[in-house]
């Protein structure tokens, strides 16, 4: 009998023994504290004893379980290591909620024991097991006790589901969902962190499910019923996930901790980890949302630079020479790639560079320039979870985190994984056209077509500005927040600023400064007719609607004209589903002082 058959038989024996206990009042009694330090219910102990008796019938093995810890089962030299959770979802089982399972994972000990002919003491076996990890497990079986479905997988043989009543094996694979807004996500409920609660509140995904059985939820991801399963607390135990880990791994899933590092837990009941499980397309997005540090080493840098200054391009040359010395791959924005590949312009420093024509293999982007270059980098990234390393070669540099003298220090921090990521909210929007007759004006034919009834705007990292087409002509708006009328505004225009943009145009127009992490937007009138028309800070999850009452307006996103809104049109703005990510450099308040926005610069303790 091979490993997969053993695991299935043990799971089925546990199922038969546990089902009669559902609803029995004594099942819920705490009988001891388990090996992992958590209370053991009577139903857990009975299920584990059934598993031990079953394993003894089929093989000799080293058993790792939350209740018993480490135990040699059977006679002779152990053939396998078995990681067991006899009931994953005990609360559900005790309350007859049909989402609880048996989870088993197995690995061979043959290669670990070599030519050993005689049994050895338990301490020696424990030393051998302690040198193994979850990635040494070759078979995974998770049986949904309530439905009878069996999820199973074997290394390099794919993952399958065996459904009742015919037990036919059907191959399963993770979903191909690419966008967060289309994703269904399972979330671990116990001890929810602030960022998990924010994630639920912000409704960044289509559905959020809380099932209470980690092994089953990983299997749901493996079959594409969920697009991701997340526990960003470091509370996920080895026995909780071992069976589901093998199934999900063999179905093509990506499994890491919340910082994107591969799971490499030792075979030990005390090991715990955070967990992000998803398909490849969504994984970086979830790491970007939940990771406290971007611990992944760079695979390839993208380089974006201003091209109107020779010192900026010379710095690009220094950067690529430095990356070459570190054997790190890179690609350049097409325009600067052409310039640098033309040796004659730069003292015959002949460098042949790769053009950054797509972002598929880019892990980080170096932006060399000022704030405008950073905004361009954010637009080029277009919602991908790629951190920006902003190097200041401009004049102001609110968005730039490093000066040009620190560029190699910044690169080294990223290469060594010793850096923090700051996540920045963006603003998404659209212009909803009012539906004009064909003869209304020369441009109105576009609006007569129902397909052109709205225009989607690119995301704004700084701000969306609604401004007059004609200088010194006052505009007239109505402003609504979450459907509630806020104000009738007569002004030269309106600024809707993100926290990042609060130190840009919004600040010049009299708006407040927001820390980058604040979840809010600022609505700022530009030169309002009414003196009491003041900036308003609204919650970041608000929908802001601006109704144009008179004259045509331009809609400007991060300094680029993106559309025109006419009388009767509505501009709808809300938080984007994606963020921009920055490698953190300057302290925010130090930066404000250095740029003379607040107080005085160069105070004691200031540092870059």
Q: Residue 82 maps to which CATH number?
A: 3.30.540.10
Do 517 and 408 lie in one domain? The reply is: no
Q: Look at residue 374 and tell me if it is in a domain.
A: yes
pTM of the model: 0.66
Picking from 272, 290, 308, the residue at the C-terminal end of a domain is: 290
Does 161 reside within a domain?
A: yes
Considering the domain architecture, whether residues 53 and 162 belong to the same structural domain is answered as yes
410 and 438 fall within a common domain = no
Residue 175 covered by a domain: no
Pair of tokens at residue 429: 């929007």
Residue 229 covered by a domain: yes
For residues 176 and 279, the answer to whether their CB atoms sit within 8 Å is yes
Give the domain-ending residue among 290, 309, 340: 290
Q: Which residues on adjacent β-strands are paired with residue 430?
A: 456, 572
Residues 6+ apart with CB under 8 A from 348: none
**206 shares a domain with 99:** no
Instruction: Say how far residue 108 (Cα) sits from the centre of its chain.
Output: 34
- Dmax over Cα atoms in the chain, in whole Å? 95
Residue 174 lies in a domain: no
Query: Considering Cα of 394, then 502, then 408, then 348, what sign does the dihedral take?
Result: negative
1's tokens = 């009998």
Record the tokens describing residue 564, joined without a space: 């025109």
Residue of 221, 239, 223, 393 lying closest to 303 (CA atoms): 393
CATH number at residue 506: 2.60.200.30
Active-site positions? 371
Contact 31, 40 (CB under 8 A): yes
Same domain, yes or no, for 433 and 573? Answer: yes
Residue 603 within any structural domain of the chain:
no
Helices (H), 482-570: 505-508
Residue 390 shares a structural domain with residue 444: no
What is the C-alpha separation between 498 and 516, in angstroms, rounded?
Answer: 8
Bond prior to 165 in cis (omega within 30° of 0): yes
Q: What is the CATH number of the domain that holds 365?
A: 3.40.50.10330
Q: How many CB atoms neighbour CB 568 within 10 A?
A: 15
Q: How many domains does the chain have?
A: 4
Asked whether residue 155 falls in the same domain as residue 31, the answer is: yes
- Of 223, 255, 290, the residue at which a domain comes to its end is 290
Q: What is the pLDDT of residue 439?
A: 39
Q: Are residues 483 and 502 in the same domain?
A: yes
Note whether 124 and 156 are same-domain residues.
Answer: yes
Q: Are 409 and 433 part of one and the same domain?
A: no
202 vs 385: CA distance, rounded Å: 18
Residue 83 lies in a domain: yes
pLDDT at 130: 83
**At 272, which CATH number?**
3.40.190.80
Q: List the domain range (segments joined by +) for residue 251.
A: 180-290
- 260 with 324, same domain: the answer is no
CB 542 within 8 A of CB 482: yes
Q: Are residues 285 and 184 in the same domain?
A: yes
| Domain annotation covers residue 213 | yes
Which parts of 362-450 fold into alpha helices (H)?
371-381, 407-415, 445-448
Instruction: Profile the chain (608 residues) by mean pLDDT over runs of 10 residues.
Output: 90 85 73 70 84 90 87 87 88 80 92 65 77 93 91 95 80 93 86 70 82 92 95 88 96 92 88 92 85 67 90 91 91 89 57 83 91 92 89 76 87 84 91 61 40 84 91 87 93 94 91 90 91 88 94 92 92 92 77 62 46
């Amino acid at each position: 009998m091979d490993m997969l058959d053993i695991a299935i038989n043990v799971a089925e024996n546990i199922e038969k023994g546990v089902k009669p206990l559902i609803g029995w009042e004594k099942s819920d009694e705490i009988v001891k504290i388990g090996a992992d330090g958590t209370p053991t219910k009577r139903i857990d102990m009975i299920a584990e004893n059934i598993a031990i008796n079953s394993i003894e019938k089929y093989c000799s093995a080293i058993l790792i379980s939350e209740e018993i810890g480490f135990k040699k089962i059977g006679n002779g030299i152990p053939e396998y290591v078995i990681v067991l959770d006899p009931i994953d979802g005990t609360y559900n089982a005790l309350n007859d909620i049909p989402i609880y399972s048996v989870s088993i994972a197995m690995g061979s000990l043959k290669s670990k024991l070599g030519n050993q002919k005689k049994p050895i003491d338990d301490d020696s076996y424990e030393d051998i097991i302690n040198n193994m990890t979850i990635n040494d497990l070759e078979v995974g079986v998770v049986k949904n006790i309530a439905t009878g479905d069996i999820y199973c997988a074997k290394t390099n043989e794919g993952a399958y589901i065996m459904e009742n009543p015919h037990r036919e094996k059907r191959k399963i694979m993770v979903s191909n969902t690419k966008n967060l807004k289309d994703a269904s996500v399972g979330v671990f409920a116990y001890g929810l962190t602030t960022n998990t609660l924010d994630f639920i509140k912000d409704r960044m995904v289509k559905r959020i499910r809380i099932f209470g059985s980690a092994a089953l939820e990983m299997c749901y991801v493996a079959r594409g019923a969920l697009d991701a399963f997340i526990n960003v607390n470091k509370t996920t135990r080895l026995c909780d996930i071992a069976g589901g880990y093998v199934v999900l791994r063999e179905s093509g899933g990506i499994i890491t901790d919340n910082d994107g590092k591969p799971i490499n837990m030792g075979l030990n009941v005390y090991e715990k980890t955070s967990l992000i499980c998803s398909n490849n397309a969504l994984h970086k997005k979830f790491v970007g949302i939940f990771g406290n540090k971007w611990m992944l080493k760079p695979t390839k840098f993208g380089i974006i630079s201003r091209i109107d200054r020779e010192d900026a391009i010379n710095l690009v040359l220094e950067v690529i020479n430095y990356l070459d010395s570190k054997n790190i791959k890179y690609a350049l924005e097409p325009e600067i790639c052409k310039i640098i590949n033309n040796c004659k312009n730069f003292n015959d420093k002949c460098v042949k560079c790769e053009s950054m024509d797509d972002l598929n293999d880019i892990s980080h982007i170096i932006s060399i320039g000022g704030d405008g270059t950073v905004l361009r980098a954010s637009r080029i990234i277009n919602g991908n979870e790629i951190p920006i390393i902003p190097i200041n070669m401009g004049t102001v540099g609110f968005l730039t985190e490093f000066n040009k003298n620190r560029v190699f220090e910044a690169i080294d921090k990223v290469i060594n994984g010793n850096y923090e990521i700051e996540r920045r909210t963006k603003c998404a929007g659209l212009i909803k056209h009012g539906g004009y007759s064909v003869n209304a004006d020369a441009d109105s034919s576009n609006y007569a077509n129902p397909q052109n009834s709205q225009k989607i705007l690119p995301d704004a990292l700084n701000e969306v500005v609604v401004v007059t087409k004609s200088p010194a002509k006052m505009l007239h708006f109505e402003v609504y927040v979450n459907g509630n009328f806020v104000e009738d505004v007569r002004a030269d225009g309106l600024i809707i600023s993100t926290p990042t943009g609060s130190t840009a145009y919004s600040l010049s127009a009299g708006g407040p400064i927001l820390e980058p992490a604040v979840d809010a937007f600022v609505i700022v009138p530009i030169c309002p007719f009414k003196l009491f028309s003041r900036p308003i800070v609204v919650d970041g999850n608000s929908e802001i609607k601006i109704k144009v009452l008179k004259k045509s307006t331009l809609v400007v996103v991060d300094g680029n004209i993106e559309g025109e809104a006419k009388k009767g049109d509505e501009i709808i703005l809300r938080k984007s589903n994606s963020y921009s990510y920055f490698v953190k450099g300057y302290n925010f308040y130090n930066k404000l002082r250095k740029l003379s926005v607040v107080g005085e610069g160069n105070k004691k303790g200031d540092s870059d």
